[in-house]
Structure 1
Amino acid sequence: MAGPLVIAIPKGRILKEALPLLARAGVEPEAAFADEDSRALRFATNRPDIELIRVRAFDVATFVAHGAAQIGIVGSDVLMEFDYSELYAPVDLNIGHCRVSVAEPVALAASDDPRSWSHVRVATKYPSLTARHFAARGVQAECVKLNGAMEIAPVLGLADRIVDLVSSGRTLKENGLVEVEVIAEVSARLIVNRAAFKTRSAEIGPIVAGVRAAVERLGRAA
């Protein structure tokens, strides 16, 4: 007999917006999930057949793609970076809105024209997405992989530009950078392992339908 379904939830910005959608779909985590001091990663829910794991956003896609979790919630930026064929993304959750953008120092941007670029050196946690974007424009991109602190890379001479998530733009401004090109608009998606969706459709189907209905209800309310 198959064990409980595992839903992978990302730490960070999407988490607070995702939980109400799951609750409307009938899935609520145990009280320990709300304990910010807890180091636990796996949690029970109000349903004995469903568990939650809380992992880094980039790891959500990997857990679901490899079948360690059957369902997940993740930003479309992660899906574009990894492009896992094992993933099916049936619902745009309409939360976690931001964008993947190119940014550079204000002084450089004053006389710079992105349309004239032929070669760029970019610090980013999205090397695949970045390389594809620039290749489509005929620009050679040298990508320096970083997992954080992207904004300091131009200051220290590691790269002239960065590609990162941008929401309000405040972090860029505080570090002397300005957004010069939007690569992609981003929102959170419900993702499902394709193989699990076929073999456990009776369990997964109602969850997908419940989340989709919750998104639609919230959209009408707005």
Structure 2
Amino acid sequence: MGEPIRQQRRGKGSSTWRANSRNGKGDVEIKNAETAGTVVDIQHDPARTAPVAIVEYEDGEERAILAPETVQEGDEVHIGPSAPIEPGNTLPIGEIPEGVPIHSIETQPGDGGKLVRASGTYAFVVTHEKGGTRIRLPSKSFKKLNTQCRATIGKVAAGGRKDKPFVKAGNKHHAMKARGKKYPHVSAVAMNAVDHPFGGSAKPGMPKTVSRHASPGSKVGSVSARKTGNKTE
């Protein structure tokens, strides 16, 4: 009898599959108010791929936001519908012109920003439509959002992070360990048939869709898939 498959070992939740985020800066969200602040520091956050900017707002509160490109210490950032279209400022997407790069986008008004938060990424407004604003995500898919959902102007800093070569296996090991992933990662079709449902051969023509009620040892591939392809909404 084979060992538990990768999905079963991951689901156990042991330290092997758990990302080390104890040194993170905590929640990095857009302040839910119309205000302005000054960037007092740019810091590295071990729990994320992008640096964070520490902003001191008018009410004295200090809060971390994702650092956009070109923003530096001493710059002012504004939150509100009347804020200038400049990197670091946050506005409702209904007030942002088409083609302007944005990040840290809310999916519901006031949720603090959920989309496009990785280093070097950005989305942009495609068109303002009746009942919403359509944006294009880094995945090249489109999403329609409430015009009151807010977004921050500019690209997330630290673009090109993946261009630097790892050079040696130790650097790759530590990079994968920080993300809570097992390294090295063995392809399922390269395993023996006893170790994985995809093992033994490439199995051309074998469907990858399995039932939601399948046994844990065979629940791999597309579980209870309703359709395939990318969503456009």
Q: Same fold per TM (> 0.5)?
A: no
- TM-score normalised to structure 2 length: 0.27
Higher helix share: 1
- TM-score normalised to structure 1 length: 0.28
Higher strand share: 1
Answer 1 or 2: higher relative contact order, Cα 8 Å, separation at least 6.
1
